[in-house]
Structure 1
Amino acid sequence: MNSTQDTTEIEAFLGLRTGRLPAAVFIVMAIVFGLPGNCISLYIFLFRMEKKSTYVIFVSFLAMFDVLTCAVHMPLELIDLVFPFHIPEWLCKCFRFNNGVLFMGSLMTLLVIAVSRYRHIVHPLKEKMSITTAKRCCGTVFVFSIFSAVPALVFNGNYAVSIGNSTATICYISDEALTTIFPALYLGFYWLVYCASVIILSMTYLVIEQTYPSAEHAFQHIKSLRSGDLNRAEAVSKAETALDAKRVGGQVLESDAWITSKDSVMREILESKLQHCSQFRSALKKIRKSDILVESTWDTYWGSGLNVTGTSHTLMQHWPGENKLGRILDGMAAKLQRTDENSATNNSSRSTRNKQGKKQS
């Protein structure tokens, strides 16, 4: 290769690398922020979660793919962007194989999570997925991801490109494989899997997602579904007011599964209401630490078991009801106030530092 050809290749290399610089900067940022964050998530879900569940297993498995993406795939992607003409063929094959495994593994894991949530919410009476089954699903996803990416070891390699009067190679489908139909079939398979997964994920979460007129509607509807009373579940969804929904839900014969889960359902509904209802959030912020929240109805589980007069004239330890709802709201109010106090403290600290900086300048 003469000096003119060398100069042409160098100029093309520098021009290509400059054009890819924004993508390279983005990948570096993704590595810097993504790798520590996913490592922390993986550590928490593997070693800090006291109660193991299918959710913990699936999220841990997905975090593992994310860690490998940040630690292995992205550095290889960065090399391909910055030094496209200097990748050995063996490294190119490993790069594309790794890309296929991580892509398919992450996608299939998201599908498994979506299906699991769909079964849990839409078909609550069906047998729940066990931890053993969840682990087997993860193993199946991992094996399928590896086998689906094996063709990358065959098809990918050095691809010759012309640069001026010279020829260089980049990491792509090899020259030999490019003349056959198999790479197109392989890439078409990935494209088909991706499109099908997007459709399944969208449809699944559209079915799961549901908006209720009130928290009472949500609670009574979920109660009816998990207790197997589909007729009253439909009647609750058509109830005009929260009181109507409560009356319909009061006729449902509670199942054992519902009795053990209704506290967590109530907490999730109220936390969702806290995010979407500014009036509810403002009301909780105004609660003083000395205040005691109580449901003043005859309900012996969620309330005090007394009416308003009886509740106000009876010591709390003598209430016949457990006041579960009041306790949940007390905890939410305290957590909300601690968050506001910490935010105010941080803002005050920043303001003090800014004032000191202005004085010094």
Structure 2
Amino acid sequence: MAIFFNTRGEHHSEFKNSSAHGIKLDGVYWRSVAHYVEAQRFSCPEVQEKVRKSPYAFAARSIARAVPDALRDDWFDVRDRVMEKAVRAKFEAHAELRAALCATGKAEIIDGSVLGTYWGAGAGGTGQNKLGKIMMKIRDELSDE
């Protein structure tokens, strides 16, 4: 059995990075995992702060994508660690989310985004599903505690 999120049916929408479940990381409050991850793509504090203050995750992505030249040099080396740090903070900060994640048991968790082939499953399920794999790793660690 697999559990899909980021799909049209909005099942498990609380698992989405854009869900309104704030986190505190690096001494700062972030409105969502998406806000944090998008901001970390840049080394420029001004861009990071603009992304952090954006009202919605979609706005954070738009701001981030508007300044592609400001992308940090090591982003592709650190992005998995950044994502895991933020996703972990989300599930540790929100007991109801932690319970929902652990309740998935051993089911495969799949980011069903048809556009994302790195973080998600992509169209036709040929993507890497890195976000789903991170969530399963965190679920296993939280379940062991």
TM-score, normalised relative to structure 1? 0.30
Following superposition, the deviation at residue 321 of structure 1 comes to 1.3
Q: Which structure's relative contact order is higher, taking Cα pairs within 8 Å and 6+ residues apart?
A: 2
Structure number with larger C-alpha Rg = 1
Following superposition, the deviation at residue 231 of structure 1 comes to 4.9
Q: What residue is the counterpart of 1:269 in the other structure?
A: 86
Using the alignment, how far apart are the partners of 1:286 and 1:213 within structure 2?
Answer: 25
Q: What residue is the counterpart of 2:128 in the other structure?
A: 322
Preserved CA contact (<8 Å) 2:111 2:129: yes
Q: Structure 1: which 5+ residue stretches go unaligned?
A: 1-207, 311-318, 340-361
Using the alignment, how far apart are the partners of 1:233 and 1:303 within structure 2?
Answer: 24
Using the alignment, how far apart are the partners of 1:293 and 1:271 within structure 2?
Answer: 15
Preserved CA contact (<8 Å) 2:42 2:72: no
Q: What residue is the counterpart of 1:239 in the other structure?
A: 54
For the structure 1 residues 323 and 250, does the alpha-carbon distance in structure 2 shift closer, same or farther, using more than 3 Å as the test?
farther
Helix, strand or coil for the counterpart of 1:283?
Answer: helix
For the structure 1 residues 278 and 256, does the alpha-carbon distance in structure 2 shift closer, same or farther, using more than 3 Å as the test?
same
Q: Deviations over 1:47-96 (max 9, x none)?
A: xxxxxxxxxxxxxxxxxxxxxxxxxxxxxxxxxxxxxxxxxxxxxxxxxx
Q: Give the number of aligned pairs.
A: 117
Helix, strand or coil for the counterpart of 2:42?
Answer: helix
Helix, strand or coil for the counterpart of 1:293?
Answer: strand
For the structure 1 residues 303 and 243, does the alpha-carbon distance in structure 2 shift closer, same or farther, using more than 3 Å as the test?
same
Using the alignment, how far apart are the partners of 2:120 and 2:65 within structure 1?
Answer: 15
Q: What residue is the counterpart of 1:217 in the other structure?
A: 35
Following superposition, the deviation at residue 331 of structure 1 comes to 0.8
Comparing both structures, which one devotes a greater share of its residues to helix?
Answer: 1
Following superposition, the deviation at residue 338 of structure 1 comes to 2.5
Using the alignment, how far apart are the partners of 1:257 and 1:277 within structure 2?
Answer: 30
**1:151-166 residue pairs with structure 2 within 5 A?**
none
Using the alignment, how far apart are the partners of 2:65 and 2:136 within structure 1?
Answer: 25
* 1:301 maps to 2:118: yes
For the structure 1 residues 231 and 304, does the alpha-carbon distance in structure 2 shift closer, same or farther, using more than 3 Å as the test?
same
Helix, strand or coil for the counterpart of 1:264?
Answer: helix
Helix, strand or coil for the counterpart of 1:211?
Answer: strand
Following superposition, the deviation at residue 235 of structure 1 comes to 2.6
Helix, strand or coil for the counterpart of 1:224?
Answer: coil
Preserved CA contact (<8 Å) 1:235 1:248: yes
What code does the residue aligned with 1:273 have?
K
Following superposition, the deviation at residue 330 of structure 1 comes to 0.8
Following superposition, the deviation at residue 217 of structure 1 comes to 0.9
Q: Percent identity?
A: 26
**1:54-93 residue pairs with structure 2 within 5 A?**
none
**1:32-71 residue pairs with structure 2 within 5 A?**
none
What code does the residue aligned with 1:326 have?
G
For the structure 1 residues 275 and 282, does the alpha-carbon distance in structure 2 shift closer, same or farther, using more than 3 Å as the test?
same
TM-score, normalised relative to structure 2? 0.71
* 1:282 maps to 2:99: yes
Preserved CA contact (<8 Å) 1:224 1:252: no
Preserved CA contact (<8 Å) 1:212 1:218: yes
